Structure 1
Amino acid sequence: MASKASLLLSFLLLFSTCLAHHQQQQQQLPQNQCQIGRIDALEPSDRIQAEAGVTEFWNADEKQFQCAGVEFLRHRIQPGGLLLPSYVNAPLLSFIEKGRGVHGVILPGCPETYESSQEQQFSGQSERRGQKFQGLQDRHQKVRNLNQGDVVAIPAGTAHWIYNDGETELVAVVFFDTQNSANQLDQNHRRFFLAGNPQGQSEQQQGQRQPRRQQGQSQQEQPYRNAGNIFNGFDVEFLAEAFNVNRETAEKLQGQRDQRGHIVNVEQDLQIIRPPQTREQQEREQQGGRQGGRSNGFEETICSLKLSENIDNPTHADFVNPQAGRISNLNSFKFPVLRQLQLSAERGELHPNAIKAPFWTLNAHNLVYVTDGTLRIQIVNNAGESVFDDELREGQVVVIPQNFAAIKRAGEQGSRWISFKTNDNAMVANLAGRVSALRSMPVDVVANAYQLSRNDAQKLKFSQQESLLLSPSTYSRSQGRASA
């Protein structure tokens, strides 16, 4: 009996030791992924061509993306192009870099509040004055206009589509938070298409172009290359019965013969029900003014969520220095849906040679994408080592991990960027300027910490009178003092 008890005790001890070791490994994995000795400016490493546009992918296996648990891509949709309906396993933020369009987000269980009537006219570029919809009347969930500078928030698993109704290319960059608690699959962005045959166009062009694929690159970086739509996996007879349609229509649902890819041309102008854009903008402004950017829990239900907000509007800027630039933050206080997504965004603009004061982000990773000009960034890790010191050009990306210190300086032509952050209320601590860590310390602490005289410590604390955005003249004066 004693030997059995001893054996059981030994087994339990071994099991608990293995379990503790496994848990320790699991806890250490994310931290080890952020032990980065070097960060690089990144550009798209792959692209999938479709009939009416192209999607460009950044390599999800890059260490900085793995550290932050994020992925990034860019859609380029031609005029008249429709990005087919799909949903993703992780929440996403999309920024409309260029162009305009229309997007729909299908919220489960919500009513179809947009419906046609005998008097209802449909929007479309070729619509004639007084033209009425003939035949069956349509009914669908709300659609929203997209404009340059809009940030669109899409919860995980929510189906959505985009249509370019403008006359120029629509460019949308998309940020995925794959480590978000809403994603219970794995740390890869997976897109589930509801229509078409996303792999069709790339298969057709395989003989013309071989995708660039580096050694060790995962298949997950090419999520559309071997993808069909979700109806393709169902039995045709089941689909015909479920939708109460004939077999031919059910086969079209599966899209096996569709060679257009994931962005398709709309043969005629897309006929949808939507309010005029000017009226929608007025309603948005009035609603924002009444709510003051805050929600008390009654203004928005799941079916009436505001899912887009323009971050380019100068009047919404949080920090402005006429000599240096401006910063606009979009967090859950201004844009309540971000509380659900646990994400936020920052739009920054620096005049030529102006500086954003050195800082660190307390509670979020930070992905920076340059939209205009050039932006030099320096990033420093916890060991005081420089892990990035380079100039970001237009269209390039870099990740600033949580708590890593960074400083930004615009190039000769100035710079604009969009940042995506993995917290709905990302908090920034500045290292220099009027509101900063050093300014908040007692003079004697500064003097002893940096081996300065009390007089020099006071100069260090109070010489910089600007706060977050530092004008070029201030930078020049500080360089002159340093060289002297």
Structure 2
Amino acid sequence: MENMSLVPLELPQKLVDGEGGSYYAWNDTVFPFLGAGQVSGGLLIMKPGGFAIPHYADCSKIGYVVQGTDGAAGMIYPESTEEKVVKLKKGDAIVVPSGTVSWWFNAGHDELKIIFLGETQNATIPGTFTYGLLAGAIGILKGFSSETISKAYDISNEQANKLVNTQKEALMFKLVDEGITMPKPSSNTQHLTFEFDKNAPNVHVEKGGYINFLTGEKHSPLEGIKLSGKLLKLEPNATLGPTYYAKDSGIELTYVIKGSGSVRVVGLNGQVVLDTKLEAGQLFVVPKFHVAAIDADNEGIECFSIVTTSKPILAHVAGKMSPWKALSPQVLQVSLNVSSEFSELFMDKIHTTTIIMPPN
């Protein structure tokens, strides 16, 4: 894991591309660290009228709506027989636990774009989201005989053949039957999505930016899942960090939503393991206990991340919340091997800086 690249070596694989939209996947083929880190990502881009066939996955993930105003998702959670239809719009996050059956639909007039990031600890292939489709050309029912299907559903062999083979699309297609009205959002489902804009950020610095964590304490669908989300927004030329996840540390997988900047990641031995420019659409990883700093360019930068821990505790290496502030002056002075005057100057600066620094 030490010598693996923390950014993809290739573009994500396009698994689906049609009139309904496209689905791109990062896996350990294009991004070897994902397998070792047991995390993965996928990007769903649905055209107006696009529909994704009901399916389930072998891992838990969080979807963040990057673009779109009128999306919908149907969710049937494990051990439930009730379908919950949820409205989706830009800025919403939705948790999809392992084994949950879901379908997705774009009822809007513009593209619906959702980034999915998740853990693959118990997945069939670590570093890869693997799906089971209930219908379609590669649906799970295709593997069973007509006799088994007819007995399971109490239908004739002819009806079993129609059930399994009528739908020719594999995963996603465009709805063209104007006589079909898709389900509207169910009542009392607002709790199934997390609106970052309506929840106070954990950290907010004027003219610098903010950090907003998505955890089980804020959002009940995440309870019992060792996963959390994070939305980071840096204003133009602001800086985040250096920071790392303390205590129950986790791997952080990040997708750049918009803007540009740069990231540097340093390992436990002080070695630089990643130093690269960032732009919209890029994915990168910060391993456990590694320290990272992000600088925004002139247009600022916005990122969505998942962390493989249910209680992310962000430790500051700089600023008034860092260990430097808590250290006694003598320990600080001898540790850095500096004069008492420099030690005092450093402590004064520590008291006036924070985790996010606005531009000078």
Give TM-score, length-normalised by structure 1. Answer: 0.69
Alignment of 1:27-42 (within 5 A): 34-36=1-3, 38-40=5-7
Aligned to 1:328: 212
8 A contact 1:42–1:397 mirrored in 2? no
Distance 1:463 1:109, change over 3 A: closer
In the alignment, structure 1 segments of 5+ residues that lack a partner are: 1-33, 113-140, 198-227, 285-305, 474-484
Structure with higher strand content: 2
The root-mean-square deviation of aligned C-alpha atoms, in Å, is 2.1
Deviations 1:323-366 (A, max 9, x none): 11111111111012223221101101111110012011121100
The whole-number CA distance in structure 1 between the counterparts of 2:4 and 2:144 is: 47
Alignment of 1:274-423 (within 5 A): 274=184, 284=190, 306-311=191-196, 313=197, 315-362=199-246, 363-423=249-309
Aligned to 2:358: 471
Alignment of 1:84-483 (within 5 A): 84-99=53-68, 100-112=70-82, 141-179=83-121, 183=122, 185-187=124-126, 188-197=128-137, 228-255=138-165, 258-268=167-177, 270-274=180-184, 284=190, 306-311=191-196, 313=197, 315-362=199-246, 363-464=249-350, 465-473=352-360
The whole-number CA distance in structure 1 between the counterparts of 2:293 and 2:329 is: 24
* Deviation (angstroms), 1:385: 1.0
8 A contact 2:265–2:274 mirrored in 1? yes
Amino acid in the other structure paired with 1:60: D
8 A contact 2:252–2:305 mirrored in 1? yes
Paired residues, number = 352
Deviations 1:40-66 (A, max 9, x none): 356633202134111112232333213
The whole-number CA distance in structure 2 between the counterparts of 1:176 and 1:37 is: 19
Aligned to 2:18: 50
* Deviation (angstroms), 1:37: 6.0
In the alignment, structure 2 segments of 5+ residues that lack a partner are: none
Deviations 1:106-141 (A, max 9, x none): 1244354xxxxxxxxxxxxxxxxxxxxxxxxxxxx2
Amino acid in the other structure paired with 2:222: L
Say which one has the larger Rg.
1
Structure with higher helix content: 1
Flag as ranges the 4+ runs of structure 1 deviating above 6 A. Answer: none
Deviations 1:117-176 (A, max 9, x none): xxxxxxxxxxxxxxxxxxxxxxxx221111111111111111111111111111111113
Identical-residue share of aligned pairs (%): 24
8 A contact 1:368–1:420 mirrored in 2? yes
Amino acid in the other structure paired with 1:56: Y
With 59-68 and 324-333 compared, the bigger mean Cα shift is at: 59-68
The whole-number CA distance in structure 1 between the counterparts of 2:4 and 2:97 is: 33
Aligned to 1:479: none
The whole-number CA distance in structure 2 between the counterparts of 1:456 and 1:253 is: 77
Amino acid in the other structure paired with 1:469: I
Q: What secondary structure does 1:161 align onto?
A: strand
